[in-house]
C-alpha cells in the first residue's frame, strides 16, 4: 500500500509507509538522511533520504541529471554533502581514511581502469588500496575474476578488452576487498545485451551472497529485474520509494496503448484527448501516441473511435502492461529517457 | 599504509614504462637535442674547431700598407678572410653570407701615414656588419685596430713610403721656420730623429723593433676542474636538456592526475580509505623516482658517449639530481591545479615550463643574457638545477657548491607542493 503526498506545485511524492518486506527487516547497512548538495544555484541533490538493508538491492531510478551520481558520490565519501548524513552500518563516515569505507565497494559509471595495464596489474593495485598485500590479494583477484568470467584474460592489457569485458572488470575491481555494500553507478552503460545479461547474473550472484546493492540506472527494465525496492528521484528529490509491485499499484492505469497513426498527427489536441474519462495519460511523438488506460477491454474501442472521428486514422495498435517507465511518466509527466 | 603507497608508486612507474611516447620524450629526445647542442657549443674539449668569423675584405687602396693589413687579417686564426669588391662585400653581409666586411679606401696607406704624425684628415675604413652578429663585429674591429697600428707604424719608422712622407713633412716644417710654435718645434725635432733612425742600418741581432709592436703577449688557459681537464660543451647541453625534458615529465604528472579525474579513476582512488597525503604523496614519490632515474640515464649516456664526467662531488651531483627530481614532482602537482581539464591545462603548462627552462639558461649559456636578466633568473629553480649540474660536472666543484642549488630547489619543491595541496580539487565530480 502506498500513500500520495503532495508537495509544492504539481510535484507528488510516494513513499511506502512502515510496511517493510521481510528483507527490509534485516540489519540496515546503509542509511542516507536528508542529503543536500548545491552547485551554485542548482540543487543537484535536494533532501534525499533512503535506506538499504543487508541483502537488499535498492534501485535509484531517475533520468540523466536527476542527482543519482551525486548521491552515490556522497555515499562513497567522494563529495561532501552540504547537509545531511550517510550512515554505514549505523556509523557516519568520518574522513577520507575512515576504515568503514572498506565496507563499501564503488563501481563508477566511468570505466575506472588503467587501459595500459593488464587486468591483473589493475586488480593488484585496487586490492592494495584496501591494504590487501599480495598474499591476500591473490585469492580475492581469482575469485572476482571467476565471478565476472575473465579468468582467462588475466594477463591481457585492458585496452584489448571489449566494452562489455571492461564493464565486468570494472565490477570485479570493486569486489576485491569483499565489501558488504556495493554502489553501482549505471554499471551497464554502453554494453551489448549479452554483456548486460552477464553483469545481471553477476549481480544476482552477489545478492545471493547477502551483499547490499545500491543500483543507479535510468533503465526501468533493469530496476524491475534486479531491485527489491526502487527509489525514483527527479530534480534531486525522491518522488517515490517502494517495491516495483508497490509502485505499479499506485498507478492510475494498468496498461499502455501504443497507437501508430496513419500520418503525423497535425491538429491532434492532447488536452482534448486527456479530457476523455478513459485516458489517464497521453504522449505524442510524431505519429505515435502512448495512452495510459485503466481498463483495456472497455476503454480501447472508445479511444480508437474518438481518433477516427477526428480524422486521425490508425494503422497499428499495441498494448503493454504499465511499468516503471509509466510510473515515472505518471509522476513527472516526462519520460525517463527524454528527461 | 605502506601497501597502498607502494602499489600506487608501482602503478605510476608501470604506466610510464608502458607509454613509448613518454620514454621517447624523457630519454631519446633530450639525448638527441643535447648531443646536437653540445656539438654546436664546442663539443668535448678541443675535438671540434670553433667556427671562424667570416670576413670579406675589399682593398681599394692596393698599396703596400693595405696589402700588409689584408695579409695580417688573413693570418688571424679566429677569422676566415676572403677578398671581395665593396659591392660584393655589402651584398654578402646583407644576405648573411658574411658576418663582417672591411673596406679599405683608396690611398689608405698615404693618408694613414700623414695622419700618423699630424692632425690631417684620417682615412676611414668602413666596417660593415650583420647586426645579428654584433659581438663578432667588435672582435673584428679589435683585431683590425691592432693590425693597422702595427703596419702603419712600421711603415712610418722604416718603410719606403714612410721615409718619403717623413721628408715631405720635414720640408713643410722647414718652409715655415720662424713661424713655428713650441709644439711644432718639438715635432720637427722628433721627425729629424726619426729620419736619422731610418737612415741608420738595422742593429745586428735585432731586438729593437722599427715601428709599434704589441707590448705584451697572452697565454690562454681554460679554467676547469683541474689542469688537463678540458671544457666539455656536452656537460652544459645535457644539463639544460635534461632539465627541460624532465620538467616535461612533470607536466605529464599533472596532466595524468587530471586524466585520472576525467576517466573516473579518481573516484575509485578516493573511494578507498586513503588519506590525501597518501594519494598525493605517492604521486610525488613516483614522479621523483622517475625524474631521478631519467636524469641519471641521460648523464650516463653523456658519460659513455661524450665523456661528460662528474669531476666534482658525486654525492653533490646525486643531491642536485634528487632535489631537482623532487622539485619536478611538486611542479607536476601544481600543474594539476592550473586547469579543470587536461586540454585546458596542457598549453598553459608547456608555456610555463618553456619560460622556466629559457630563463634557467637551458637553451643558451647564461652569460649571453643581459646583466640584469642574469640577476633576475635566480628566482628560477631551473637555473639552480643547471648551475648545480655544471658545478658538479665540468667545473669539478666540491659538495659545498652543491648545497645552495640543493637547498633552493628543495625550497621550490616545498612551495610548489604547498600551493598545489592548497589549490587541489579533492572532491570528485558528482
Indicate if the pLDDT at residue A285 is higher than 80. yes
pLDDT digits (tens, 9 = 90+) for B250-261: 999 999 988 888
Total structural domains within chain A: 2
Interface of A with B in 131-150 (CB under 8 A): 131-133
Within this chain, do residues A312 and A238 fall inside the same structural domain, yes or no? no
User: In this complex, do B267 and A112 lie within 8 Å of one another by their Cβ atoms?
Assistant: yes
More confident residue, B78 or A71: A71
Cα–Cα distance for residue pair B238/B28, rounded to 1 Å: 12
Interchain CB contact of B161 with A (< 8 Å): no
If you average pLDDT over residues A250-268, what whole number do you get? Answer: 79
A331 belongs to a structural domain: no
Chain B residues with CB inside 8 Å of A128's CB? 3-4, 6-8
A199 assigned to some structural domain: yes
What gap in Å lies between CA B125 and CA A284, rounded to an integer? 95
Per-residue pLDDT band for A11 (boundaries 50, 70, 90) equals: very low
Query: Based on the domain organization, do A140 and A40 belong to the same domain?
Result: yes
Most confident segment among A204-218, A279-293, B107-121: A204-218
Same domain flag for A231 and A282 = no
The residues, any chain, with a CB within 8 Å of residue A5's CB and separated by 6 or more, are A12, A13, A14, A15
A217 in a domain, yes or no?
yes
Do residue A69 and residue A163 come from a single domain? yes
β-bridge partners, A92: A87
Whether residue A301 sits in one domain with residue A164: no
A118: DSSP letter: B
Residues B221-238: tens digit of each pLDDT: 766 666 766 778 899 899
B340 touches chain A (CB under 8 A): no
Count Cβ atoms below 10 Å from residue B385 Cβ, excluding itself: 33
Q: Which of A79, A106, A129, A177 to mutate to test the interface with B (most CBs of B within 10 A)?
A: A129
**Domain identity same for A160 and A217:** yes
Distance CA A155, CA A141 (A): 12
Which residues of chain B neighbour A108 with C-beta distances below 8 Å? Answer: 264, 267-268
Cβ of A99 within 8 Å of Cβ of B273? The answer is yes
- Is residue A327 a part of any domain in this protein? no
The pLDDT value given to residue B328: 96
B73-108: b (≥16 Cβ within 10 Å) or e: beebeebebeebebebbbebbeeeebbbbbbbbeeb
Which of B256, B268, B279, B421 to probe the A interface (max A CBs under 10 A)? B268
Greater pLDDT, A137 or B49: A137
For A9-14, what is the mean pLDDT? 44
| Domain of residue A289, CATH code | 3.30.70.100
H or E stretch at B81: strand B79-83
B428 near A CB under 8 A: yes
Model pLDDT for residues A193-224, shown as the tens digit of each residue: 888 888 999 999 999 999 999 999 888 788 88
Query: What is the average pLDDT score of chain B?
Result: 86
Q: Of the candidates A215, A249, A283, which is a domain's last residue?
A: A249
Same domain, A172 and A292: no
Range of the domain at A104: 3-249
CATH number of the domain at A156, please.
3.40.50.300
E-only strand ranges, A17-122: 28-39, 42-53, 57-61, 83-88, 91-92, 104-107
Q: Does A259 touch chain B (CB under 8 A)?
A: no
Any domain includes A207: yes
Q: Which domains does chain B have, with CATH numbers?
A: 2-45+240-423 (no CATH), 53-156 (3.40.1710.10)
Do residue A150 and residue A227 come from a single domain?
yes
Kindly state whether residues A168 and A32 are assigned to the same domain: yes
Percentage of chain B modeled with pLDDT above 90: 47
CA distance linking residue A233 with residue B69, whole number of Å? 96
Stretch A117-135: mean pLDDT, rounded?
95
pLDDT at A320 over 90: no
Same domain, A215 and A276: no
> Is residue A145 domain-resident?
yes
- Which residues pair with residue A242 across a beta bridge? A230
Nearest CA in chain A to B428: A78
Cα distance between residue B236 and residue B394, in whole Å: 8
Interface contact B4, partner A, CB < 8 A: yes
State whether A239 and A264 are in the same domain.
Answer: no
Residue that terminates a domain, selected from A202, A225, A249:
A249
CA B311 to chain CA centroid, Å, is 21
Same domain, A164 and A271: no
Burial of A73 (0-12, 13-18, 19+ CB in 10 A): buried
Picking from A45, A104, A131, the nearest residue to B271 by CB comes out as: A104
Look at residue A333 and tell me if it is in a domain: no
Q: Place A9 in a pLDDT band, splitting at 50, 70 and 90.
A: very low
With an 8 Å Cβ cutoff, are A77 and B270 in contact?
Answer: yes
Point out the domain boundary residue: A249, A279, A295: A249
| Residue A4: pLDDT over 50 | no
Strand partners, B44: B232
A128 and B CB contact within 8 Å = yes
Question: Chain-centre distance of CA B362, in angstroms?
Answer: 10
Indicate the helix (H) or strand (E) that contains B267: helix B265-271
Amino acid at each position: 500500500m502506498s500513500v500520495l503526498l503532495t508537495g509544492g506545485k504539481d510535484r507528488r511524492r510516494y513513499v511506502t509507509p512502515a510496511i517493510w518486506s521481510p528483507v527490509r527487516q534485516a540489519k540496515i547497512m546503509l542509511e542516507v538522511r536528508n542529503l543536500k548538495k548545491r552547485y551554485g544555484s542548482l540543487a543537484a541533490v535536494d533532501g534525499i533520504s533512503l535506506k538499504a538493508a543487508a541483502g537488499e538491492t535498492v534501485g535509484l531510478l531517475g533520468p540523466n541529471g536527476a542527482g543519482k551520481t551525486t548521491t552515490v558520490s556522497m555515499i562513497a565519501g567522494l563529495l561532501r554533502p552540504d547537509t545531511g548524513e550517510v550512515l554505514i552500518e549505523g556509523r557516519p563516515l568520518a574522513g577520507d581514511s575512515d576504515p568503514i569505507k572498506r565496507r563499501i565497494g564503488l563501481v563508477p559509471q566511468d570505466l575506472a581502469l588503467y587501459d595500459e595495464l593488464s587486468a591483473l596489474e589493475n586488480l593488484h593495485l585496487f586490492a592494495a588500496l584496501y591494504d590487501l598485500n599480495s598474499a591476500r590479494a591473490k585469492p580475492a583477484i581469482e575469485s572476482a575474476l571467476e565471478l565476472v568470467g575473465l579468468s582467462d584474460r588475466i594477463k591481457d592489457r585492458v585496452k584489448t578488452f571489449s566494452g562489455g569485458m571492461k564493464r565486468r572488470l570494472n565490477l570485479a575491481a570493486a569486489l576485491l576487498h569483499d565489501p558488504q555494500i556495493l554502489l553501482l553507478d549505471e554499471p551497464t552503460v554502453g554494453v551489448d545485451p549479452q554483456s548486460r545479461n552477464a553483469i545481471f547474473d553477476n549481480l544476482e550472484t552477489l545478492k545471493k551472497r547477502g551483499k547490499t546493492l545500491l543500483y543507479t540506472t535510468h533503465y526501468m527494465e533493469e530496476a524491475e529485474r534486479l531491485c527489491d525496492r526502487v527509489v525514483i528521484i527527479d530534480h534531486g528529490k525522491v518522488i517515490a520509494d517502494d517495491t516495483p509491485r508497490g509502485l505499479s499499484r499506485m498507478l492510475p492505469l494498468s496498461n499502455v496503448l501504443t497507437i501508430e497513426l496513419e500520418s503525423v498527427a497535425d491538429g491532434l489536441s492532447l488536452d482534448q484527448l486527456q479530457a476523455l474519462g478513459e485516458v489517464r495519460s497521453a504522449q505524442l511523438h510524431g505519429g505515435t501516441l502512448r495512452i495510459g488506460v485503466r481498463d483495456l477491454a472497455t476503454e480501447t474501442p472508445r479511444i480508437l473511435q474518438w481518433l477516427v472521428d477526428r480524422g486521425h486514422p490508425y494503422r497499428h495498435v499495441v498494448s503493454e502492461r504499465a511499468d516503471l517507465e509509466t510510473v515515472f511518466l505518471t509522476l513527472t509527466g516526462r519520460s525517463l529517457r527524454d528527461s | 599504509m605502506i601497501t597502498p603507497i607502494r602499489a600506487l608508486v608501482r602503478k605510476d612507474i608501470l604506466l610510464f614504462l608502458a607509454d613509448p611516447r613518454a620514454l621517447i620524450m624523457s630519454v631519446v629526445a633530450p639525448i638527441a637535442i643535447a648531443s646536437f647542442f653540445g656539438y654546436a657549443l664546442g663539443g668535448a674539449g678541443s675535438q671540434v674547431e670553433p667556427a671562424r668569423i667570416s670576413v670579406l675584405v675589399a682593398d681599394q687602396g692596393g698599396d703596400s700598407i693595405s696589402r700588409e693589413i689584408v695579409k695580417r687579417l688573413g693570418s688571424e686564426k679566429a677569422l676566415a678572410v676572403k677578398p671581395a669588391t665593396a659591392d660584393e662585400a655589402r651584398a654578402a653581409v646583407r644576405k648573411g653570407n658574411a658576418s663582417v666586411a672591411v673596406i679599405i679606401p683608396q690611398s689608405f696607406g698615404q693618408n694613414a701615414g700623414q695622419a700618423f704624425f699630424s692632425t690631417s684628415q684620417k682615412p676611414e675604413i668602413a666596417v660593415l656588419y650583420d647586426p645579428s652578429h654584433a659581438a663578432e663585429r667588435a672582435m673584428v674591429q679589435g683585431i683590425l685596430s691592432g693590425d693597422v697600428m702595427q703596419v702603419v707604424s712600421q711603415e712610418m719608422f722604416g718603410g719606403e713610403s714612410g721615409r718619403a712622407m717623413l721628408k715631405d713633412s720635414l720640408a713643410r716644417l722647414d718652409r715655415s721656420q720662424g713661424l713655428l710654435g713650441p709644439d711644432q718645434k718639438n715635432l720637427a725635432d722628433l721627425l729629424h730623429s726619426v729620419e736619422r733612425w731610418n737612415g741608420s742600418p738595422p742593429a745586428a741581432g735585432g731586438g729593437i723593433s722599427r715601428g709599434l709592436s704589441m707590448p705584451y703577449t697572452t697565454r690562454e688557459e681554460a679554467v676547469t676542474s683541474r689542469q688537463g681537464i678540458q671544457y666539455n660543451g656536452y656537460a652544459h647541453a645535457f644539463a639544460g636538456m635534461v632539465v627541460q625534458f624532465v620538467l616535461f615529465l612533470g607536466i605529464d604528472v599533472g596532466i595524468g592526475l587530471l586524466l585520472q579525474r576525467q576517466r573516473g579513476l579518481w573516484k575509485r582512488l578516493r573511494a578507498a580509505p586513503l588519506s590525501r597525503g597518501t594519494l598525493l604523496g605517492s604521486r610525488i614519490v613516483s614522479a621523483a623516482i622517475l625524474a631521478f632515474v631519467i636524469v641519471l640515464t641521460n648523464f650516463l649516456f653523456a658519460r659513455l658517449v661524450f665523456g661528460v664526467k662528474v669531476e666534482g662531488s658525486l654525492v653533490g651531483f646525486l643531491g642536485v639530481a634528487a632535489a631537482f627530481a623532487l622539485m619536478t614532482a611538486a611542479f607536476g602537482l601544481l600543474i594539476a591545479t592550473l586547469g579543470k581539464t587536461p586540454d585546458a591545462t596542457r598549453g598553459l603548462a608547456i608555456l610555463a615550463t618553456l619560460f622556466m627552462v629559457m630563463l634557467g639558461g637551458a637553451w643558451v649559456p647564461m652569460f649571453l643574457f643581459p646583466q640584469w636578466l642574469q640577476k633576475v633568473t635566480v628566482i628560477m629553480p631551473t637555473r639552480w638545477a643547471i648551475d648545480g649540474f655544471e658545478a658538479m660536472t665540468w667545473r669539478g666543484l666540491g659538495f659545498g657548491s652543491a648545497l645552495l642549488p640543493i637547498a633552493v630547489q628543495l625550497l621550490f619543491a616545498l612551495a610548489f607542493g604547498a600551493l598545489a595541496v592548497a589549490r587541489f580539487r579533492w572532491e570528485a565530480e558528482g
